[in-house]
Every structure is written in structure tokens, then in C-alpha cells.
Amino acid sequence: MTDEIEPQAPSDDDASIPDAVVEEQSRLSIVWLIPIIAALAGAWLAYTSYTDRGPAVTIEFATAEGLEAGKTKVKYKDVEVGEVEEILLSRDLSHVIVHARLVKGAERYMTENTRFWVVRAQVSAGRVSGLGTLFSGAYIGIDPSTEGKRQRKFMGLRRAPVVTSDVPGTIFSLRASSLGSIDVGAPVYYRWFEVGQVLSAELDESGKHVTLQVFIEGPHDKRVRQNSVFWNASGVDVVLSAEGLEVDTVSLTSALIGGVAFDSPINLDPGGDVQPGTVFELYPNRRATTRPKLTVSRRFLLYFNQSVGGLVPGAPVEFRGIRIGDVLDVRLIAHPETGEIRIPVLIEVQPERIAISGQTVTNDAKEIQATWDRLVARGMRAQLKSGNLLTGQLAVGFDLFPDAPVASIDWEGDVPELPTIPSPIEELKAGLAQFMKKLDRLPVEEIGTGLNETLAQLRALSHSLNTEVAPSLTTAVTALDQTLVSANALISPNSEAGAELRRLIRDLADAARSVRLLADHLEQHPEDLLRGKETD
């Protein structure tokens, strides 16, 4: 059984406690304003952060070496203008795709002419760049441009550009047969002063020529005129001439890494202004710029029956010392059936270098062919000659040989064939060979036997002379000596016979004088021969 508590009546002490009054409050409390304000502030910050961020760009690189998402920066002139957000591989795994976010305001510079590249420490064309990345890490460089169409996807450059768009100047194109030692970034000189750099070099579609892009800084780009000439200033140009040894080089840098130089010809008008992108010919050296520019060339084949050691492609082809072309190729061809060996030498000559007296130089193929036919008919032949005594290099020389056998040019093949003759040294060798053959045909043994017999007879005769003839000759010489002594004593001035001889000579002289007087008298008085001498 539970005890129940009965309510007690209020006492006098409880009468002083007031009664609680319950009132209904508003549902919206001021406490809720704090999270609302915080949410609005966050939304505003998110909005401003979204609106203040720069454009997102996509860059494709061959490799992501040195790049790291969230850390690698995008810089322009060493100022951070963006950051790499994400790095992905392409679907075919051939390259990497880099997503980067740039600063606000960079939108106007994202055009088709804008370039991106990865800056790393590297050495090229004698220049050292990107050393700071050894400590801070690689970064992406940007060359912004406001020209061209807007875009957000770019192909990254394989290497840093030599010249950025903010450098004033002009780009020109050069066309050469070979690149030589010129590399991208090599210097460009004007009168041995560096005024630019080589931007790029690539083969043309035919593969026969190389096209170079060079950048000339302002205001030196105005020095390039219509008649300006460019040449390869790489290495050291050494020329041994009649005036001595000439050495031409621009600088030690060009000798090591190559370079290009340009100038205006002294004997020509520089010409007017040129437009950007104008194509100039790149000569192999400075001497080549002074040679006449010829537009016509003709190839010929030469066959030599002698050693062509020392004849190499590029050797000169001369006519009486005047260069008219170059050697293009030297080969060895053996006939599979007959075993005959021939050495064809392919040359290229400039017919314009040979001017016929009284005729205008022409490029007509028929007239050129007729001219060469006339020269060959007059005895023009090709032969090998010494080009350099120090190196042993040979050259091809043309000259007129009126006594040469009759020959003509074979125009039937793809390449015409010119007649040749042996060189003087080869003719001497051939003469010596013929002499040795004739000498081999002589009966040397019989001649030797006859000579031995003749020598034996001579030795016998010498012995006979010494034993038999020599004593008789000694006796005869002694008798002759005695006779001479007697004759000397007879005609001596102090001898009696000598005095008598002198008197006889005087008497003969007197007699001769009398006869001469008689002859003179008879010549004047011939009648005395009839009358005789008159008597008193």
C-alpha cells in the first residue's frame, strides 16, 4: 500500500512568491542573423574569388620534366602571372597536358601568337640560361601577344625562343645550300658588331636547301637593304693566295659556335628598303659574295684513265686558271661482264663565264651547245692538274690543244661527255713506261758478252803496247830529242851556222830588192828589153 501525499494548504510564508506568467515569444531570433551573415559573406567571397580569377589555359608539352601541379609557376619577366593546377597525360601517351590558371587581366594576351615554354637550365649556342631554376625549380615562361585570334589552348615550344615579341626588330629569311656550323641562337653581325640572332633553321620540302630565320634588332634592321648580302661567318676562313696567307674570322664566338654576317656591296648601290620576311641568299663565306651571280649551270661527265687521288667534290674546274665551275662527284664504275673499270667525274660549269668575242652572253641552250662544240673542235680538252702542292689536291683544267686527236662532245646521254687527255705527268710516265718496255726487249745478255770480249781485247792490246811498242817509242823519243838539241845548236844566235844563215838571209833580201827595182824599171821603160843597156 502506497502512501499518498496530500496537498497542503498554503502558508503565510508562500504568499510573498509571485506567480509565473507564461508569454508567447517570436519565432525569429537575432541569433540566426550570425550564420546568415556568414553565409552571405562566404557567397560574396566565392563570387568575388570566381570573378577575380584569371583565364584557364591548356598547354601541351612533350614532357612534364620539372613541372609539378600546385607548385610550378607561370612567369613573365620573372613576375608570377599564373600557376599550374593540373598535369595529365594525353590519351595516346604522346605528350602531357598542363592546365594552368593565369592572373586576372591576362585574357587579352591569350591569342594565337602567344607562346609558352618550360624554362630550365641549359647551354646553347654559347649562351647559358635558366641558372636560377637549379635552386627554385623549372617554371613556364610566357611571351604574350595581343595580335591574332583569341584562344585558350596552346602548343608549348620545345625550347625557349631566342627573341621575345617585346624586342623591336625585323625577321628576315636566308636560303643556303647547307647549314654548316650555324645553330639556333647564333649571333648575326653587321661589320663585326652583333646586331641579331638566328631564330630557326629547317630544310625545305625538296631537301636541297636550308631556310634560316634571323632576327635583326632595331634600329639595325634598317641597315638591311635590297642589295645587302649575307654570308656564313662560322669558323676561320683561311686563303693561301699569291699575296700570302689570309685569315678571316669575325670573333672567337663565331669560330666556335658559328654565326651570320651581312653588309652591303661596296661596288653596288645598297638599294631601297626591304619588307619583313624578305628572302636573301646565304653565301658560304665572304669571298663568295664578290663572285658574279650566275643563273645558268651545265653538267658534264669526264672519264680519266689515270689515278684521281686528290680529286674531291668541291674541287675547282678552271679554264687557263679562271674558275668556271666545280667538281660535284667522283665515282668508280666496274663493268660486270668485261671487268672494265671507269672513273666518271661529274662537273658543273657556268657557261656564262665563257664569253665569245663579238657575241652577247646568252642563256640559250642551243647557242651554249654550239659554243662548246666549236671549242672542242678547236682542241679544248679537260685534264687533271695539281690544285695545291701542299695538300696534294687535284683540280680539273681546260685548255686548247690544237695537236690533240679529233674528238667531239657526246650529247646523247643524260649528261654530256667531254673529251679528256692525260696530264703532262701522265704523259711523262707513259713515255718512261714505253722506254722501259723497249729497254726490256734489248738483248742485254748478248750485249754484255760482246762488251766483255771487247774489254778483254782492249786489255790484251794494252799489254802488247806496254811490252812491245812502248820501248820502241822510248827509243824514238830519245833520238828525236837528240835531233832537236842538234837543230837548236845549229840555229843558235851564237853559233857559226847561225851567223852564216843570217848573212844568207840578208843577201837574199838584197837580191829580192834588186829584182823588185828591176821590175819597176821595166814596167816604166819596157823598151829597154829591146835596146838593152845603153853604153856610154
Q: Render pLDDT for 305-316 as a digit per residue (tens, 0 to 9).
A: 777 778 888 888
pTM to 2 decimal places? 0.52
Cell numbers for 174, please give them: 636566308
Q: What is the per-residue pLDDT for 153?
A: 93
SS3 380: strand
* Distance between start and end Cα atoms, the chain: 255
Residue 341 CB partners (closer than 8 Å, separation 6+): 332, 333, 334, 335
Contact between 327 and 396 (Cβ < 8 Å): yes
Can you tell me the mean pLDDT for 42-63? 78
CB 235 within 8 A of CB 258: yes
* Secondary structure class of 42 (helix, strand, coil): helix
* Residue 149 cell numbers, joined: 585570334
Between 371 and 472, name the one with better pLDDT.
Answer: 371
The per-residue pLDDT for range 329-351, each reduced to its tens digit, is: 888 887 777 777 788 888 888 77
Q: Which helix (H) or strand (E) covers residue 377, if one does?
A: helix 365-377
Helix (H, G, I), strand (E, B) or coil at 98: strand
Q: List Cα–Cα distances, 49 to 81, 109, 229, 483, in angstroms.
A: 16, 21, 57, 153
pLDDT reported for residue 111: 92
Residue 186 has what pLDDT?
85
Q: What is the DSSP letter of 47?
A: H
Alpha helix segments (H runs only) across 17-113: 33-52
Q: Could you identify the residue written with the cell 637549379?
A: 134
Please state the separation of Cα 406 from the chain's center in Å.
Answer: 38
> Taking all residues of the chain, what is their mean pLDDT, rounded to a whole number?
77
DSSP β-ladder status, 139-143 and 73-76? parallel
Over residues 216-236, the mean pLDDT reads: 85
Return the ∠ at Cα 422 (arms to 416 and 426), rounded to 5°.
Answer: 150
114 falls in which pLDDT band (50, 70, 90)? very high
Count other Cβ atoms within 10 Å, centred on residue 404. Answer: 17
Contact status, residue 102 vs residue 144, Cβ threshold 8 Å: no
Range list of H helices, 102-257: 133-136, 252-257
Can you read off the three cell numbers belonging to residue 164?
A: 621575345
Q: Which three cell numbers stand for residue 195?
A: 646586331
- Give burial (CB, 10 Å; 0-12/13-18/19+) of 187: buried
**Separation of CA 493 from chain center:** 96
DSSP for 487-506, written as a single string: HHHHS-TTSHHHHHHHHHHH
Of 298, 301, 297, the residue nearest 419 (C-alpha) = 301
The most confident of 53-57, 179-183, 252-256, by mean pLDDT: 53-57
Higher pLDDT, 235 or 333: 333
Rounded to 5 degrees, φ, ψ at 502 are -70, -35
Q: What is the 3-state secondary structure (H, E, C) of 349-361?
A: ECHHHCCCCCCCC
The residue type at 388: N
pLDDT at 285: 81
State the CB neighbour count (10 A cutoff) for residue 125: 18
Instruction: Decide if pLDDT at 399 tops 90.
Output: no
78/32 Cα distance (integer angstroms): 49
Q: Distance between CA atoms of 419 and 383, rounded to whole angstroms?
A: 9
More confident residue, 62 or 238: 62
* DSSP structure class, residue 20: P
Residue with grid cell 726487249, as numbered in its chain: 441
User: Mean pLDDT, to the nearest integer, of 155-184?
Assistant: 84
pLDDT at 487 over 80: no
CA 514 to chain centre: 105
Q: 2: pLDDT confidence band, cut at 50, 70 and 90?
A: very low
pLDDT of residue 242: 43
Cis omega before residue 219 (within 30°)? Answer: yes
Sign of the alpha-carbon torsion through 502, 505, 511, 513: negative
pLDDT of residue 499 exceeding 80: no
Q: Span 380-405, mean pLDDT?
A: 82
Cα–Cα distance, 354 to 376 (Å, whole number): 13
